[in-house]
Amino acid sequence: MKNKKILYIGNNLTKKTKYNSTIIVLSNLLKKEGYNVRVFSDKTNKILRLIDMCFSFFKYKKGVDYVLIDTFSTVNFYYALIISQLSRIYKLKYIPILHGGNLPQRLNKNKFLSKLIFSNSYKNIAPSNYLKFAFEEKGYQTKFIPNILEIENYNYKNRAQLAPKLFWVRAFKEIYNPTLAITVLFELKKSYPNAKLCMVGPFVDKSYEDSLTLVANLKLEDSVEFTDVLFKEEWHQKSIDFDIFINTTNFDNTPVSVMEAMALGLPVVTTNVGGIPFLVDDKIDGLLVSKSNVEEMTNAIISLLNHYHPDLPKKAREKVEKFSWSYNKEKWFEILK
């Protein structure tokens, strides 16, 4: 197990996002276990990132035992394609780690390219049973290992009395539908005039400007706070002042922010898209609603405020404790032996 050399290729953008992504969490944990891990790339420009990934591959490929490849469903899919095929040429064992919530659609859209990557891999790793099922349905053998949550870093807050204070953590991108959160707040204020919303995340596309415009049009300036991106520890601290976590995304796999909210004791109301129903059991450890449905999400929040589901946070915390390193490290050791 010790001294295995691993080259981990993915989007190492912590310096830009201020957020410890799965690539940082997993690589650091493997290093602590004695693995020799190199991580690339931290370039923000996508073309430069690809060049850096390829350069790093050629620079460090000698003696590498495994190449881990974070694999997404959009443009970054092609990073995985290129690195996987370079690994094949140089007879290196490569392991795609599946992250993109839209990867099942990619399998259908690019059958040939998908086969090149996933049929020739040493292992395919899915952090959700949603992706495991989707890949195995297409004939790709896939092992489930969840995204690792360092549960010891999450202080659970018992919220005996919930207030209409909503918390949202995501990048401002159209696929994550941030304007839904604002519209839900507007509807909620009809019954709870003191309702508030805090939105944490980087401003990526025009959905941020759309959100600002919507806040102004609905006259919610005093009820919505935009923090921009925060370090994980900062938004964890910020969340103490809020009582309900809402996730408004239109596409997703297994969002780490939802897992973190569950660990922190925030009851979760989320759209039921992609892999989320594989993470959240409706009315047991969270509430699921249809995507883009203002009425459903508003009613779900009101049901929490009316104490209809008091045990959700406790059950959610119990679930995500099973995503810790202690529960899952042996699975990685078995693969990287």
One-character DSSP codes across 26-40: HHHHHHHTT-EEEEE
The first and second tokens of residue 105, run together, are 């659609």
* Structure confidence at residue 138 (pLDDT): 96
| 12 and 137 belong to one structural domain | yes
- Nearest residue to 87 (alpha-carbon basis) of 68, 111, 110: 68
Domain boundary among 145, 179, 204: 145
| 131 and 264 belong to one structural domain | no
Query: Under 8 Å CB-to-CB from 190, ≥6 apart: which residues?
Result: none
| 174 and 276 belong to one structural domain | yes
Give DSSP secondary structure letters for 296-321. Answer: HHHHHHHHHHTTS-TTHHHHHHHHHG
By residue count, the chain amounts to 337
- Nearest residue to 247 (alpha-carbon basis) of 132, 167, 316, 335: 167
- Nearest residue to 9 (alpha-carbon basis) of 64, 90, 91, 89: 64
Question: Is the residue at 208 inside a domain?
Answer: yes
Query: Under 8 Å CB-to-CB from 127, ≥6 apart: which residues?
Result: 22, 97, 98, 99, 144, 145, 146, 147, 253, 254
Q: Residues 72-117: pLDDT tens digits?
A: 988 889 999 999 999 999 999 999 999 988 899 999 999 999 999 9
Question: Is the residue at 115 inside a domain?
Answer: yes
CB atoms within 10 A of CB 334: 12
* Structure confidence at residue 31 (pLDDT): 96
Q: Residues 230-253: pLDDT tens digits?
A: 988 999 999 999 999 999 999 888
- Nearest residue to 83 (alpha-carbon basis) of 73, 101, 71: 71
Q: Check: CB of residue 55 under 8 Å from CB of residue 42.
A: no
Question: Is the residue at 334 inside a domain?
Answer: no
Q: Is 310's pLDDT higher than 80?
A: yes
Domain coverage including residue 196: 151-321
Q: Give the domain CATH number at 67.
A: 3.40.50.2000
Q: Residues 126-159: pLDDT tens digits?
A: 999 999 999 999 999 999 999 999 999 999 999 9
Query: How many Å apart are CA 315 and CA 326, to the nearest integer?
Result: 19
Domain count, the chain: 2
CA distances from 4 to 36, 229, 269, 336 (A): 6, 35, 42, 8
Question: Is the residue at 333 inside a domain?
Answer: no
**Residue type at 334?**
E
* Structure confidence at residue 91 (pLDDT): 98
Question: Is the residue at 337 inside a domain?
Answer: no
| 306 and 170 belong to one structural domain | yes
| 119 and 160 belong to one structural domain | no
Q: What is the pTM of this model?
A: 0.88
Question: Is the residue at 205 inside a domain?
Answer: yes
Would you give the end-to-end CA distance of the chain in angstroms? 5
| 180 and 276 belong to one structural domain | yes
| 202 and 53 belong to one structural domain | no
| 109 and 184 belong to one structural domain | no
330 class by beta-carbon count within 10 Å (0-12 exposed, 13-18 middle, 19+ buried): exposed
Q: Tell me the pLDDT band of 15, cut-offs 50, 70 and 90.
A: low
Question: Is the residue at 14 inside a domain?
Answer: yes
| 293 and 163 belong to one structural domain | yes
Q: Tell me the pLDDT band of 2, cut-offs 50, 70 and 90.
A: low
